[in-house]
Amino acid sequence: MQDLQIAMLAAKLDALTELMHDVKKLLADRTKAAMEPGTPGDPERGLDAKEAAALLGISRASLYELRKEPGFVQPMQVGKRSVRYARAELLAWQQARKDSKAAQ
């Protein structure tokens, strides 16, 4: 009887070990995919309008209006109808704007 229980526990342990291995592989694959160029999260890819607006906490329409203002970050043209914003430039613009409002 005891041998049967040990065998059953060993089988369950093997199944759990295999499941853990599968989960680790899945997480590793997702992490790798998230850092490939052209995917969100890649700092060199730049941010599209939706991501840039979200970073600044504004709507896309407001982002398009801000583009017309002098001193706002100019996007990089990456295609005929596609632009990207440099995250660091957006954050620097946002901080400069906060600093100028605080100084007033």
pLDDT bracket for residue 34 (50, 70, 90): very low
> Which residues, including other chains, have CB under 8 Å from residue 83's CB and lie 6 or more apart?
48, 49, 75, 76, 77
Average pLDDT of span 30-50? 65
The token pair that represents 61 in the structure block: 């329409």
Place of tokens 């939706």: 50
What pLDDT is stored for residue 31 in this prediction?
56
Average pLDDT of span 28-55? 70
Share of the chain above pLDDT 70, in %: 83
CB 87 within 8 A of CB 43: yes
Q: Is the dihedral of CA 45, 50, 55, 61 positive or negative?
A: positive
